[in-house]
Amino acid sequence: MTPRDIVVATLSYDRPERVARSFGDADMVFAGPSIKTAATDWHPVGGARWERTDEWGNLWARVDASSKGEVIHGVLDRLDALDDYELPRLDDPAGYEPVRRVRLDHPDRYVVGGLPGFAFNIARKLRRLDVYLTDLLADRPAVAALHDRIDDLLAGMIRRYAECGCDAVMITEDWGTQQHLLIDPALWRDEFAPRFDRLCGLARSLGLSVWMHSCGQIEAIVPDLMTAGVDCLQFDQPELHGLETLAAHQDRGRITFWCPVDIQKTLQSRDEAVIRAAARRMLDTLWRGRGGFIAGFYGDNASIGLDPVWQDHACDEFLRAGIADNYPE
C-alpha cells in the first residue's frame, strides 16, 4: 500500500497494513496557497515585546522571541464597519500554484489543504476573543453577517483545493477550554452547526475529506461535528476526552482520531515505560488494526517543555506495534 492508500484505508476502516502516521516518513503532506496579504513577520518593538500583523490585518503581540502570541487589536473595531472591510482574497486561483506543485511532487501521499479555521476561528481574531464572545450574545445579526462573508471565502478556498487535486481540507479551530466548550452548546448548534454542514457538505461533494484540529474539551459537539461531515479530528490531548469515549464515537460513526500520546498528561511523565504503554493503549483502543486512528507527533516540543526523546519513544512504539498482523480479525 502507498502512504495515500494507508490514509484512505484508515478513514474507511478498511484494515490498512499499518497505522497511518504524521511523523518521520509521514503518509500525508500539507499544502497552502501563496497569496499576498497584510501579513508581516514578527519584529521587536522594544524591551522583550514583539509584534506582527496577520493576513486579516489583526495586530498580534508576544513577550518573547518564540511564543505564538495573541491578538491585541482586531481589525474590526466595530461590527458596523464590516461593509468597509475587505477580506483577503485567499481564494484567488492564481495563488494555488504551490498547492498544485505539492500534488504533483507527492503523487503517493495524501495531500491536505489548510484552511484558516471556520467562521469562529477567524471572527474571534477580527474582533478579539473577549469582545467577540459578547458580540455573539448582544448582536447576533451583525455577527451572522460577518460569518456569512467568511463562509463564502472558505467555500472558494475549498473549491480551489479540489481543483488542485487535494485529498482533504483541514480546519484549525480551538473550541474548548480544559473543562468545557467556549460557548453554550445550544448556541453552537444554532449559529455554527449549519455553517459546518454547508462547508463540510461542499468539501465532500467535491471529493474531499474534512479534517479538524481543536484544542480543549469539546466532547459536547463531537457528535455534531461527525454529523456535519468531519472525517478526522486531531486532538493533542486525547486523555482529556478519554480513549474509551473516543472509541465509542468511532463505533457510532467511524470517525478517525489523529493524536500524539497526550502532550499535557502522559508525555509530561518523562517515563519511557509509561509513554510506550500509552502508545500501545491508543493502538489497542482506537486503531485495533481496522483503521480510525492516525499516530501523531506534536511539532513544538519546546512549547511543552520536553526533550524530543520522549516523543521519540512514543513514535517508536507506534511503529513497532502498529502493524495489522498484530491485530488479527
Phi first, then psi: give them for residue 107, nearest 5 degrees. -65, -20
Residue 68 has pLDDT above 90, yes or no: no
What is the arithmetic mean of pLDDT over 172-177? 93
DSSP per residue over 57-77, as a string? S-EEEESSSSS--EEEE-S-S
Alpha carbon distance 32, 12 (integer Å): 25
Q: Record the cell numbers describing residue 50, joined without a space.
A: 514583539
Judged against a pLDDT cut of 90, whether residue 67 lies above it is answered with no
pLDDT tens digit sequence for 191-219: 999 999 999 999 999 999 999 999 999 99
Q: State percent of the chain over pLDDT 90.
A: 92
pLDDT band at 65 (very low <50, low <70, confident <90, very high): confident
Q: What's the whole-number mean pLDDT along residues 153-177?
A: 97
Nearest to 160 by CA among 71, 238, 100: 100
Check pLDDT > 90 for residue 128. no
Q: Which residue has the cell 473543562?
A: 179
CATH numeric code, 3-36+78-326: 3.20.20.210
For residue 324, the model assigns a pLDDT of: 96
Domain boundaries, the chain: 3-36+78-326
Between 131 and 115, the more confident residue is 115
Helix 272-282 vs helix 308-321: crossing angle, to nearest 10: 40
The pLDDT of residue 329 is: 83
Please provide the distance, in angstroms rounded to a whole number, between the alpha carbons at the two ends of the chain.
Answer: 19
User: What is the model's pLDDT at position 66?
Assistant: 79
Residue pLDDT, tens place only, 131-151: 999 999 999 999 999 999 999
- Summary mean pLDDT of the chain: 96
Residue type, position 297, single letter: F
- The yes-or-no verdict on residue 129 having pLDDT over 90 is no
Q: What is the pLDDT of residues 222-233, one digit of tens each?
A: 999 999 999 999
pLDDT value at position 237?
96
